[in-house]
């Protein structure tokens, strides 16, 4: 087997391992950001997986066109009005420059090999003034920091998460990656749903009546940035 064939197989295995779906709190956070910033126009779901978020985006009725892209095949139940492109997201996408007003990418960047290349691709695909929203595991939560201290890795990057999760990022990493690609300094929001160390099914929000929120008490973080030129 050649190096290219081996690499393709590894990426396919990673795609299957990811399961192509994220948690409801993440999707809810995306919907809140889209409504808060009143985002409209042509949107790309980058790393659409099984199409769960894609369907939610369509149901919002906010967008002129909806395009989804993933290595996975097009979901059979996806509405025909949605454009679907099957593509290795580690590679440059066969879509013209400045095609979209909004790009969303839910729990994708941690699966990819080169986050800087991905950020440059997002910048290329967005129109000036366009908005990028992406999410990734929050490696600055207490749960993740305790895992790093006790086990030597962030909680979402254990052996059980490999080869799906390969790229761990902190907020400072994301800020550097995005601004180097030409984006504005990102704003960060959190899922405000987070598991307690050693008891991940029990959430901080449950034991605190919803008072514990933000960076230390959320399993996922969203970055929002603009292409200004």
Domain count within the chain: 1
Cα distances (angstroms) measured from residue 171 to each of 68, 139, 177? 26, 9, 10
Residue 219: pLDDT band by 50, 70, 90 thresholds? very high
CATH number for 79: 3.40.50.150
Q: Would you say residue 9 has pLDDT above 80?
A: no
Task: Tell how far CA 114 is from the center of its chain.
Answer: 14
What the block records as the tokens of 169 is 């990022």
Residue 203 lies inside a defined structural domain of this protein = no
- Return the biggest CA–CA distance within the chain: 55
Full domain range(s) for residue 98: 3-137+160-193+213-226
The model's pLDDT over 176-197, given as tens digits with 9 standing for 90+, comes to 999 999 999 999 999 999 999 9
- Asked whether residue 131 is assigned to any structural domain, the reply reads yes
- CA distance linking residue 185 with residue 213, whole number of Å: 23
**pLDDT band of 89, cuts 50, 70, 90:** very high
Check pLDDT > 90 for residue 21: no
Tokens at 22, concatenated: 């994220």
- Helix count and strand count (H, E) for the chain: 7, 9
19-33, 106-120, 211-225: least confident range: 19-33
The pTM score is 0.93
- Taking the C-alpha atoms of residue 105 and residue 133, their distance in angstroms, rounded to an integer, is 6
In a domain, 154, yes or no: no
Measured distance CA(57)–CA(66) in Å, rounded: 8
- Residue 229, pLDDT score: 86
Task: Tell me, yes or no, whether 207 lies in a domain.
Answer: no
Residue 116 belongs to some domain of the structure: yes
Distances (CA, A) of 153 to 5, 126, 140, 167, 202: 29, 34, 12, 12, 21
Residue 181 lies in a domain: yes
Tell me the mean pLDDT in the region 1-9.
62
């Amino acid at each position: 087997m050649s190096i290219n064939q081996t690499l393709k197989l590894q990426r396919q295995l990673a795609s299957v391992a990811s399961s192509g779906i994220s948690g409801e709190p993440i999707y809810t956070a995306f919907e809140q950001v889209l409504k808060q910033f009143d985002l409209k126009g042509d949107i790309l779901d980058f790393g659409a997986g099984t199409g769960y978020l894609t369907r939610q985006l369509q149901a919002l009725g906010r967008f002129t066109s909806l395009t989804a892209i993933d290595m996975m095949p097009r979901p059979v139940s996806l509405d025909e009005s949605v454009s679907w492109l099957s593509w290795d997201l580690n590679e440059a996408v066969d879509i013209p420059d400045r095609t979209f007003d909004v790009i969303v990418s839910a729990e994708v960047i941690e699966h990819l090999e080169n986050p800087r290349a991905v950020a440059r691709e997002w910048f290329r695909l967005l129109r000036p003034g366009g908005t990028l929203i992406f999410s990734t595991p929050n490696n600055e939560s207490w749960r993740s920091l305790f895992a790093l201290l006790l086990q030597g890795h962030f909680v979402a990057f254990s052996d059980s998460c490999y080869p799906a999760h390969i790229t761990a990022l902190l907020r400072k990493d994301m800020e550097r990656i995005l601004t180097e690609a030409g984006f504005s300094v990102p704003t960060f929001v959190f899922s405000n749903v987070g598991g307690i160390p050693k008891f991940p099914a029990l959430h901080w929000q449950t034991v605190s009546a919803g008072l514990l929120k933000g960076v230390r008490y959320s399993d996922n973080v969203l970055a929002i940035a603009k292409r200004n030129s």
